[in-house]
Amino acid sequence: MAISNPFRRKPIRATEVAVETQTEPAKTHEVKRGFAFYVEYIAKDKPALLGTVIIGAFLVFALIEGALQEAAALLHQSPYNANLGTILLSSNPIALRFSEQLLPPSFKNFPDLLLGSNFQGQSLLSSILYATPHDAVASLLVVGSAIFIGMFVGTSAGYLGGWTDEVMMRLTDAFLALPAIVLAITISVLIGGGFTSLLVALTVIWWPTYARFFRAQALTIRNKGYVEASKLSGSGWLKILVRHIIPNSVDPIIAYATLDMGTVILTYATLAFLGIGVTSGYPEWGYLSSSGLQFFPQQWWYSVIPGVVIAVVVVAFTLAGDRLQDLIGGRITY
């Protein structure tokens, strides 16, 4: 199916146009297609390359760490002793070490105290690394499902037009009118705490933007020749949507989605900062920051360092997404 891999489909004319107008490659330079094109394009910009490397490291580490934690849970290993989930870390971020409370960042015991320790003596470095899977899963899953929902709502609204369009877009407006953080607080508190309900809440507030994007895309694509041809050959609207409109509108969304994954991490951290969706005994970037609040002016690094880590990861997503947006800039309308 064309939808399974958006990079491999045939009409990528716009990317080639972008290369010709922006960098004017020499005649011997072969224009790469699909994924290789994106890699090469990003590698030309140093900050974006740095961002991509950070994102890659973050995602790979989160994947391995998450798998190890799951394995440890499956083997019923106690979280208070060294277990599979902590073998990559310098110390166990869940076990209590009251002899090492609130130590400032230092090279002592390298690398365990590189970022200091918290009020239970747990190393901040280990806690931050231990919490990566949640942030990675949140960003991937929320953006992924938001794209999926927004894709169907947006393209069908844009393609069908008329009353369907009006109703769907007013509903989208109603969702968009709600400030994200407030609605997420409302939903996750009403559903009840926990990671899963937080993911649901984030998805509920995330899809309307994508619905808008996909609608704008569908409005331009629905008048193209191949859509007309497909309609004349007797295809139903659902088939046209899945075969033509969705595959051709997914491309510009990639840049925005990259930027957006950073925003999801930011919102997730903000909610965790308020203590929403936090499981007790499991460190969370935002929650680490807010638990340092009571020691704030004296042990300032305790609440500032997790915040800086969040900022670094989000900046990485912003740099890569910004570079991709430059590429797609002329093609997206919203």
Partner 1 sequence: MVSNFGFFVTRRAINALITVVLLLALVFALLHILIPSPEAMARIIVGNPRASPGITASIIKANNLDAPLYVQFFNYLWNTIHGNFGVDTQLHIPEVDVLKEYLPITLELVVVGQIIGVLIGLYTGAIAAANRNRAPDYGMKALYLTTWSAPIFLVAFIFQLILAYWLNLLPASGVVDPILYAPHYVTGMPLVDALIAGDWVYFWSALQHLLLPAFTIAVIGFGLVTRIERSSMIDALDRDYVKLAYMKGLSKRKVVWGTAFRNALIPIITLVALLFATSVGGSVIVEVVYHYHGMGFFTVNAAFNYDYTAILAFTIIIGISVIAANFVADLLYAIADPRVRLT
Stretch that binds partner 1, among 106-114, 227-235, 250-258, 297-305 (CB under 8 A): 297-305
- Alpha-carbon distances, residue 138 vs 30, 178, 243 (angstroms): 38, 21, 29
Q: By CB under 8 A, name the one of 254, 315, 328, 332 that touches partner 1.
A: 315
How many CA atoms lie less than 13 Å away from 105 in the CB half-sphere? 12
Name residues contacting partner 1, limited to 170-199 (CB under 8 A).
170-171, 173-183, 185-187, 189-191
Residue entry with tokens 């320790």: 117
Counting Cβ atoms within 10 Å, is residue 127 exposed (0-12), middle (13-18) or buried (19+)?
buried
User: Of these, 6, 133, 154, 262, which contacts partner 1 (CB under 8 A)?
Assistant: 262
Size of the residue set binding partner 1 (CB under 8 A): 46
Query: Which CB sits closer to partner 1, 82 or 315?
Result: 315
Q: Of 15-23, 105-113, 230-238, 267-275, which segment contacts partner 1 by CB under 8 A? A: 267-275
Single-letter code of the amino acid located at 76: H
* Minimum distance, C-beta of residue 308 to partner 1, in the bound complex (Å): 7
Which of 118, 258, 270, 291 touches partner 1 (CB under 8 A)?
Answer: 270
Report which of 147, 4, 139 is spatially closest to residue 66, judged by C-alpha positions: 139
4-12, 124-132, 167-175, 208-216 -> range binding partner 1 (CB under 8 A): 167-175
Contacts of 261 (CB under 8 A, 6+ apart): 139, 140, 143, 317, 321
**Binders in 46-105 for partner 1, by CB under 8 A:** none
HSE of 21, CA atoms in CB hemisphere, 13 A = 11
Instruction: Tell me the C-alpha distance between 172 and 72, whole Å.
Output: 42
Residue 274 binds to partner 1 (criterion: CB under 8 A): yes
Binding site for partner 1 (CB under 8 A): 170-171, 173-183, 185-187, 189-191, 262, 266, 269-270, 273-276, 286, 289-290, 293, 296-297, 300, 303-304, 307-308, 310-311, 314-315, 317-319, 322
